[in-house]
A = this chain, B = another copy of it.
Amino acid sequence: MSRKGILFVISGPSGVGKGTIKDLLLSRLTDVRLSISATTRPPREGEVAGRDYFFLDSQEFSAMINRGEFLEYAQVYTNMYGTPKRYVQDKLSQGYDVLLEIDIQGAMQVKTKMPQGVFIFIEPPSIDELAFRLSSRGKDSQESIAARLAASHAEMESLKYYDYVVVNDNLEDAVNKVHSIIIAERCRVKNNC
């Protein structure tokens, strides 16, 4: 391949369905590579190092932070998670487009490091709908749902930093739209020169 790859960042509020959209896209687009995260949490059964995650100990993770080797990182409870820059850059140099699914805070960090990426915001049809989805998946307490909804309002403020917004009112439509965005971006004159 001669052209350089494009980084597509798929992001949005928690519970919006961005993980499902990412999975469906990957099953359609065999020529796209998924960014692999690094984490300090131990592997779960069936997880493969270098496929599901890069598993690091805390010292290795801190050293990578200090060397500026993450596009973004965050602490979740007692574990660290991050997106290693090198893996993404290697795939892009090889001519592969890379898909990165990430929360809004992470996307904003990535934006500062790789502003040339294509940033896609997945939006719930409405805050009411998001509340309903979070409740009905039954994974979250009422309290955590309330906290997420408050965060959601704030997160919508980030929309202006994105290139595209796709409302996930219908999963098939939303996947088709993100797929179209990927096809269109590959046709951009600036990506063909």
Residues of A that sit less than 8 Å from B by CB: 120-121, 159-160, 162-166, 176-177, 179-181, 183-185, 187-189, 192-193
Contact = CB atoms under 8 A, between A and B. Distances in A.
Contacts of A189: 121, 159-160, 162-165
19 contacts: A120-B187, A121-B189, A159-B189, A160-B189, A160-B193, A163-B189, A164-B184, A164-B187, A165-B188, A177-B183, A177-B184, A177-B187, A179-B180, A180-B181, A180-B184, A180-B187, A181-B183, A184-B184, A184-B185
Contact of A163 (B120, B179, B188): B188
Contacts of A180: 179-181, 183-184, 187
A42 to B, nearest CB: 39
